[in-house]
Amino acid sequence: MAEGAPMNGGKGIYSYANNSHVQREGFNAAKNLIMDILIQNLDVKSLVSSTISKTFTIADLGCSIGPNTFLAMENIIDSVEHKYRVEGLDPKNLEFQVFFNDQVANDFNTLFSSLPVDRRYYVAGVPGSFYGRLFPRKSICLAYSSSSIHWLSKVPKELVDKNSPAWNKGKIHYTGATNEVVGAYAARFDEDMDVFLNARGEEIVKGGMIVIIMPGVPDGGTVTHDVGIAFSFLESILIDMVKEGLINQDEVDSFNIPHVYPSVKQMSRIVEKNGCFSIVNMKLRNARIDPKAPIDLEFAVMHLRALAEGTFTNHFSGDTVEEIFRRAIKLKSKLGHMLDSSGIEVGAQLFAVLMRK
């Protein structure tokens, strides 16, 4: 049973740092909206006075290795300073502390060696899962999470139980799977988000916020997202390798990607049931600057490798993983056909801003 692994570290050809333009484009598409919402809704004076250190504290949950997190932090700080000026306060008296959080195995060395020299904030790294407490009570003013919380804490156990209706035989994700498999993923996401919100409810001061950017799907329609289709593409490569005797069927049957792409309706229900936060803004939007632009399929495969190679390596041998992505580049036109024939909008993004009650 494969669990999620950190994004590819370093600054090499397959690194997340060099293959995360999709995530950067998603942030750029949302940055003006983020700024407007923060300026309209943040009570910065109250938030700063509520923290122990009298500092505006920001936590990036799932920061990876940069450079996208640095752009997001600058955007947030610009927004807070602007709000300070609007309230007739001098932002020169304001200090910022940024906590960069990710899994223990994340490449924090690359993250910290890439920090902007002209940054306007103090820095600390916080390794550990955001599915649990990370910070002292009432110590965070604003949490930010981009392209992170669609990674589940673990694969639903039913998927690898041959006696379960949700046994995901021959597949590696819920895209194209049975309703039982889809339900198992959804139930796991519900539980994980409740844990996530409870933890943030302890850590974030009253009036503080969470900004969430993640893949999402329309209400009441398909559960299919283009990232899920990309996993189906890799799944087809694995099936070919089984037929050729390069790997065995059990290796595929016991492998599942811990990814979920919720709808606004699903996410709203989870937040409202949890009760720690109110919804300031939540919508499905397109993360692409130009939704009609053609997709660079080779880059899409490189991006897929940067985000998923570690998860594949946790389950398959290194030689197998290398062969999977070698074939993916060779067969990239098949990925394009799968995306085109799906009929879905590529780049759908769930955007949410929540406020601590």
> pLDDT tens digits for 13-58?
888 888 888 888 888 888 999 999 999 999 887 887 776 667 899 9
Q: Domain-by-domain residue ranges, the chain? A: 21-356
d(C-alpha 69, C-alpha 100), whole Å = 9
Distance of CA 23 to CAs 20, 34, 186, 288, 289, Å? Answer: 5, 15, 23, 9, 11
pLDDT tens string 267-311: 999 999 999 999 999 999 999 888 888 899 999 999 999 999 999
What per-residue confidence (pLDDT) applies to 54? 75
What per-residue confidence (pLDDT) applies to 20? 84
What per-residue confidence (pLDDT) applies to 52? 65
Helix (H) or strand (E) holding 283: strand 277-286
Regarding the domain delimited by 21-356, which CATH topology (the fold level of the hierarchy) does it fall under?
Rossmann fold (3.40.50)
Amino acid at 130: F
pLDDT tens string 96-131: 999 999 999 999 999 999 999 999 999 999 999 999
CA atoms within 13 A on the CB side of 345: 17
Average pLDDT (146-163) is 95
Average pLDDT (223-240) is 96
Least confident interval from 3-12, 248-257, 309-318, 333-342:
3-12
d(C-alpha 342, C-alpha 113), whole Å = 41
What per-residue confidence (pLDDT) applies to 1? 44
% of residues, the chain, pLDDT over 70: 98
Q: What is the pTM of this model?
A: 0.95
